[in-house]
């Protein structure tokens, strides 16, 4: 429902933030890093505005919000795949920050299971599995932490 109404004005700040997130590819940044970026540039964007735009972009599925190893502050990442990402799962490595897109039948079953056995309708766009990726497991033996 709800047609494609503008809902939001197009502003210099909003555009600057989206473009910056896009320019990072699949890299991730924290709010303070974003703020620093705009401080270094001529584009002035207040941090309150950054927070508010990130929230909207995350709600709209344009970016994802993560909590990494240092759970002090959240970090954000642009979603390039857009639509396709609604249909598969994501594994986020807490060590290197890599996001792994996974198309796997077994993982699809999870959604069915949650639905049938737990009556829970999963939101695949937002759900992310946190953990340690293959690369990091191989290179960091001390990853055996709890």
Q: Is 3 in the site for DNA (CB under 7 A)?
A: no
Q: Is 61 in the site for a second copy (CB under 8 A)?
A: yes
In the complex, minimum distance from the CB of residue 40 to DNA, in angstroms, rounded to a whole number: 15
> Near DNA by CB under 7 A, which window of 27-35, 80-88, 96-104, 106-114?
27-35
Q: Find out whether 82 and 101 touch, Cβ atoms under 8 Å.
A: no
Q: Is 59 in the site for a second copy (CB under 8 A)?
A: yes
Q: Find out whether 48 and 57 touch, Cβ atoms under 8 Å.
A: no
Q: Is 32 in the site for DNA (CB under 7 A)?
A: yes
Please tell me the number of Cα atoms within 13 Å of 122 on its side-chain side.
Answer: 21
Instruction: Label residue 139 exposed, middle or buried (CB < 10 Å: 0-12, 13-18, 19+).
Output: exposed
Residues 42-71 that bind DNA (CB under 7 A): 44-49, 51-53, 55
């Amino acid at each position: 429902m709800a047609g494609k109404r503008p809902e939001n004005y197009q502003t210099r700040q909003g555009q600057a933030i989206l473009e910056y997130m896009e320019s990072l590819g699949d890299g991730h940044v924290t709010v303070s890093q974003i703020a620093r970026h705009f401080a270094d540039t001529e584009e002035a964007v207040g941090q309150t505005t950054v927070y508010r735009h990130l929230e909207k972009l995350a709600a709209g599925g344009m970016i994802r919000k993560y909590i990494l190893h240092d759970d002090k502050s959240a970090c954000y990442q642009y979603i390039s795949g857009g639509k396709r990402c609604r249909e598969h799962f994501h594994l986020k490595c807490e060590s290197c920050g890599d996001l792994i897109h996974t198309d796997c039948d077994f993982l699809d079953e999870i959604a069915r299971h949650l639905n049938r056995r737990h009556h829970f309708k999963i939101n695949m766009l937002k759900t992310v599995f946190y953990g340690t990726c293959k690369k990091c497991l191989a290179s960091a033996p001390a990853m055996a932490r709890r």
